[in-house]
Amino acid sequence: MMNDITTPDNPNSRCGFVAIVGRPNVGKSTLLNHILGQKLSITSRKPQTTRHQVLGIKTEGDVQAIYVDTPGMHEEEPRAINRYMNKAATSALVDVDVVVFVVDQLNWTTADEMVLEKLERVKCPVILAINKVDKLEKRELMLPHLESLAAKRDFAEIIPLSALRETNLEPLEEAVGRFLPQSVHFYPDDQITDRSQRFMASEMVREKITRQLGAELPYSVAVEIEEFKQQGKTLHISALILVERDGQRKIIIGDKGARLRQIGQEARIDMERMFDTKVMLKLWVKVKRGWADSDRALKSLGMNDL
């Protein structure tokens, strides 16, 4: 995080960090993507899709909000990859100016309670965002639910919304802007993330794997970008897909390579849209046993930035 930011000449200029937190699969990444107006964090219906902190930068006039999309917080940490994701989520709460705590409509679980406990040490304003209200069948249950949530903590705001349908996102952004400190903007007004294009390319491949394979494959998949080179009008990208077992490798490759080709085609379309250039994408699948259980393997994959 950035410190010692001097007060700008423009008293209306505001800037700060906003952590988006919550248990897995409540819609944190979808919320960030729709606030930004473009895909930045990968999404799927599968919990625990997000592994890294991803900064999404939204500049609207005098206000620059730097959103930190975090992995969902886990109640248990049996594997190194789960410990890493919990650490990533918890560290995002350090030195932020606002927290957006996302929950799923009327559902309140022990995992939500665990996140709330972690927020007890947070001194900045905490906005409670009740997501997926468009799926609510009995709307009369919302008011008593709001009252019960309000009793759990002195939230700065409680905002029902639908990230997917972009319902009530404006009140959320307005509330965030009010709580950000007076400051110069940390990033150029047209920048939307701090992540490299190589990182975004690896996440696009991982998203297509997660979306296509769903329950067929556990979370033992990582993607390394081995080549990222612009040659003329074409961006050449080579990606290595790592799995833990031979059976997983066969699942990703599919019958005569059909599944791998489909993953590559869908990822390439997203890459061409984001990078605004023709992309030549090559994918390989390799077995690397035990990487999700090994702290050393996680560091070799770049998951040591905390």
Question: Does the annotation place 70 within a ligand binding site?
Answer: yes
Question: Does the annotation place 12 within a ligand binding site?
Answer: no
Find all residues with CB under 8 Å of 158, minimum gap 6, and list them: 127, 128, 130, 146, 149, 150
Question: Does the annotation place 25 within a ligand binding site?
Answer: yes
Question: Does the annotation place 45 within a ligand binding site?
Answer: no
Question: Does the annotation place 270 within a ligand binding site?
Answer: no
- By three-state DSSP, how is residue 117 classified? helix
Sheet of 222-231: strand order equals 222-231, 234-243, 278-287
Question: Does the annotation place 125 within a ligand binding site?
Answer: no
Find all residues with CB under 8 Å of 212, minimum gap 6, and list them: 259, 262, 263, 266
Question: Does the annotation place 61 within a ligand binding site?
Answer: no
Q: Computed over its alpha carbons, how large is the radius of gyration of the chain?
A: 20
- Burial status of residue 251 (CB atoms within 10 A of its CB: 0-12, 13-18, 19 or more): middle
Question: Does the annotation place 72 within a ligand binding site?
Answer: yes
Question: Does the annotation place 69 within a ligand binding site?
Answer: yes
Question: Does the annotation place 134 within a ligand binding site?
Answer: yes
Output 191-199 pairs: Cβ under 8 A, ≥24 positions apart: 191/57, 192/36, 192/38, 192/40, 192/56, 192/57, 192/58, 193/40, 193/54, 193/55, 193/56, 193/57, 194/55, 194/57, 195/54, 195/55, 197/228, 197/274, 197/275, 198/225, 198/228, 199/52, 199/225
Question: Does the annotation place 16 within a ligand binding site?
Answer: no
SS3 content of the chain, % helix, strand, coil (to 5): 40, 25, 40
Question: Does the annotation place 132 within a ligand binding site?
Answer: yes
Per the DSSP assignment, residues forming a β-bridge with 239 are 225, 283
Question: Does the annotation place 29 within a ligand binding site?
Answer: yes
Question: Does the annotation place 290 within a ligand binding site?
Answer: no
Q: Are 18 and 98 in contact (CB under 8 A)?
A: yes
Question: Does the annotation place 133 within a ligand binding site?
Answer: yes
Numbered residues of the known binding site: 22-29, 69-73, 131-134
Numbered residues of the known binding site for GTP: 22-29, 69-73, 131-134
